[in-house]
Structure formats: C-alpha cells, structure tokens
C-alpha cells in the first residue's frame, strides 16, 4: 500500500492487516529471531525494565526473575536466565522492552522508521508459550505495528471504547466497558503467521494468544503528539498572562456553581483575549523541547569519533548524524543558534552557510565548506564532530 494511501485511510483511524505475501514474504527474522531472544536473555546482562513478564493477565513482580550477577556484577536487578526459563515453561509471556535501544538491527530499523514518520517510537518483543495469552483485552495509548516473527498468534480486535485516548487515559480506567465490548463480535479475528503485520490505531481493543506453537512478535509503538499537546503548551504559556493569574474573590465558595459562573465567564474571556495573541513560535519551541528528546538520533562510535577528530584535515569527509533533528536560528547580530535534540550550540554568524550545507547533506568534504577560510573550516568541523552532530562519512 502506498504510504499516502495508508496515511489517508488507516493512520489514526482504522486497523490494517497485511499478509506476508503482500509484504514480499521475507519475514522479520533479520530484525529479531528466537536465537536472538535467547542471546538477550542469557548473555547480555539485561536489567529491568528491559524485561517484563506476564502470567494470566497479570505482571509478574520483577523480584521473581532478577537478582545479582555474581562476582563483579552484584547489581541486584539483572535478569536471571534460569528463573526466566521456569516462568516461561509455566506459561508466562516474556516482554523484551526498549529493544530499539539495545539490539543493533532494531536500533537501526527504529531510527530509520522514526525519521520517516517524524515521530518518536519504541520497539518491544513478546514471546508467548504455545496456547497461552499474556494480557487480557486492553487498548494502547499509542499506535502500534505488530510484526509476526515466529509461530502463530490469534488476534481479536474490537472497536474502541475511548477514541484517541491520551497517555493519561489508560484502559484500566474503563475496565468494565472494555470487558463488555470484548464479549461482542470482533472487528478483526485473525491468526498472524510469520511475516504478517497488523496496524492498530491507539484505542482499538485487542487480545492475542499463541496457537499450537510458541509465538514471537515485535510491537513498534509510535508515540505521536496530539492536539491536546498544543493545549498543554498553551496552558504553560498562559501562565505569563497577568489577567489569568489573578486570584478568585475573597470568600468565594468554589463548590457553588452559581458563585463560580461569573468567574468562569471572566476567565474564559481573558483566556480568549490572550489566545488571540499566542505565539506559534513559542508553542513550537515547547513542542520541540518535548518531542525531540524522545527520539534519539543514531548512536555514535566514541572511539572512531575521537580518532576522526585527531586526524581531521581538509580532505576529511563527514556526514550528518543519522536521525538528528536540527534547527538553525539567528541569535543577535552576529551569532546563530544550532538546536539539536538535547542542547543548543551558539556559533559565529559566518558559520551559518557552512553548517546548513553540512547538515543538509550538500557538502561532505571539510575543505569544500562555503563562506569560511581554511582554519575556520577545520575549527567548525572539529566542533561539530566533538558535539556528535557530524560523524565520519
């Protein structure tokens, strides 16, 4: 399906089931395989919260499968493989969380997908023993792509009880409604086989159980910002308006609707007047400060980076750090600010053209940087490498 059609028809609206045959039939073992799961659980020194365990719809306390790692690794929350085996053999589902931060193929995949979507995302893996179900019917407060890696899993999907729920509106607050809808006919009742994929917008109810063999699937969660995020930004900015900071009248009974009514009218008027002056740039700054740190760029290699800094010359070729979001803004008369996901750099104004050329991919050789002399080209490239904004090409 073309991305434009997916965005127009399904994104944030309706589920989409895609069979392996329509996706090229290659499957998802290159992202994570059962052998990879064994590697993670036994030889990588995982700690909580990178593993969560569920049994009969309930989360198992972490103390039942974590402990010290022996001499030189006495940290008390490391995953213990023999305890994981015991729980899994007894029917528990294993949830490997945050794999976009620790497993290289998924780290690269999540970085590429997150850049294309322009949204922060996370990747978890769910390993369910044959004939078992990890979680009862529920909904997520973010969109998800389910990628069936191994085995078969039976999915039942129902219409939402809360449309487009916010993170502060988890399904537990609507447990009775969820249970009632789950008893009705599903919108999707299908078994996912290796290579199949399922997209679920936030709020859609779902449950899944493994068929006659174990099941391993990946869940890619997309944590999109909402219009309510803009409301929250406006609320933060509204604190700067004196008319909205005024106290309520002395002696007002806040439980009396009749006494509150005229104050509400005045407050709404003051808010409306202030909203007409709200700055889109100020709102964008708050949203950037919230969204950019949630989507880290691709990792760098510190030793390689340090070696590149030491060996830098005019023939060195550099590239923007993949997945890096940036914004170049004027700062006074002769400075510019380079904003990235976790900080802001102040640079001389004459560097602006060269920085933009580097980060837009228009120039890769240090000696070709426009608008600067030889020494300044080296100084700028060295600074951007040290700040992990550029990497060796």
The answer on pLDDT for 225 being more than 90 is: no
pLDDT-based confidence at residue 171 (cuts at 50, 70, 90): confident
For range 50-56, the mean pLDDT = 93
**Within 13 A of 286's CA, how many CA atoms are on the CB side?**
15
pLDDT score for 80: 95
pLDDT per position as a tens digit, 14-52: 999 999 999 988 999 999 999 999 999 999 999 999 999
Tell me the C-alpha to C-alpha distance, in Å, between residue 82 and each of 6, 291, 338, 344: 44, 39, 49, 46
pLDDT per position as a tens digit, 86-102: 999 999 999 999 999 99
The answer on pLDDT for 106 being more than 80 is: yes
The better pLDDT of the pair 120, 144 is held by 144
pLDDT score for 303: 97
pLDDT score for 75: 87
The answer on pLDDT for 56 being more than 80 is: yes
CA distance 13 to 203: 10
Tell me the C-alpha to C-alpha distance, in Å, between residue 295 and each of 103, 195, 232: 16, 27, 20
Hey, which residues does 155 pair with through a beta bridge? 190, 208
The answer on pLDDT for 200 being more than 80 is: yes
Phi, then psi, of 317 in degrees rounded to 5: -105, 135
Total Cβ atoms within 10 A of residue 375: 8
CA distance 188 to 169: 24
The better pLDDT of the pair 69, 267 is held by 267
Q: What is the mean pLDDT of the chain?
A: 94
* Residue where the block lists tokens 């691709």: 298
pLDDT score for 10: 96
Hey, which residues does 143 pair with through a beta bridge? 222
Percent with pLDDT over 90 in the chain: 86
């Amino acid at each position: 399906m073309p991305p434009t059609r997916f965005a127009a028809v399904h994104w944030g609206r309706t589920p989409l089931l895609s069979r392996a045959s329509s996706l090229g039939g290659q499957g998802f073992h290159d992202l994570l395989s059962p052998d990879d799961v064994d590697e993670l659980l036994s030889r990588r020194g995982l700690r909580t919260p990178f593993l969560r365990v569920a049994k009969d719809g309930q989360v198992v306390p972490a103390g039942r499968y974590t402990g010290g790692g022996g001499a030189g690794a006495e940290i008390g929350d490391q995953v213990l493989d023999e305890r994981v085996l015991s729980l899994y053999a007894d029917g528990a589902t294993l949830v490997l969380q945050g794999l976009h931060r620790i497993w290289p193929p998924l780290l690269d995949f999540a970085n590429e997908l997150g850049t294309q979507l322009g949204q922060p995302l996370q990747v978890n893996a769910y390993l369910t023993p044959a004939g078992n179900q990890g979680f009862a019917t529920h909904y997520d407060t973010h969109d998800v792509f389910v990628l069936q890696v191994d085995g078969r899993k039976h999915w039942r999907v129902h219409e939402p009880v809360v449309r487009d729920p916010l993170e502060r509106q988890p399904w537990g607050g609507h447990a009775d409604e969820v249970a009632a809808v789950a008893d009705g006919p599903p919108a999707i009742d299908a078994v996912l086989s290796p290579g199949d994929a399922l997209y679920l917008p936030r709020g859609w109810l779902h449950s899944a159980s493994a068929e006659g063999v174990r099941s391993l699937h990946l869940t890619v969660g997309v944590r999109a910002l909402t219009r309510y995020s803009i409301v929250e930004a406006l609320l933060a900015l509204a604190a700067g308006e004196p008319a909205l900071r005024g106290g309520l009248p002395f002696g007002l009974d806040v439980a009396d609707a009749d006494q509150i009514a005229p104050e509400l009218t005045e407050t709404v008027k003051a808010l409306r007047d202030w909203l007409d002056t709200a700055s889109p740039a100020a709102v964008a700054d708050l949203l950037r400060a919230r969204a950019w740190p949630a989507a880290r760029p691709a990792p760098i290699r510190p030793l390689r980076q340090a070696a590149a800094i030491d060996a830098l010359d005019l023939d060195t070729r550099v590239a923007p750090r993949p997945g890096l979001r940036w914004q170049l803004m004027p700062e006074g008369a002769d400075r510019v600010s380079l904003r990235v996901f976790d900080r802001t750099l102040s640079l001389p104004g004459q560097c602006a053209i060269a920085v933009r050329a580097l980060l837009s991919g228009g120039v890769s050789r240090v000696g070709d940087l426009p608008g600067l002399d030889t020494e300044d080209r080296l100084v700028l490239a060295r600074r951007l490498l040290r700040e992990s904004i550029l990497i060796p090409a």
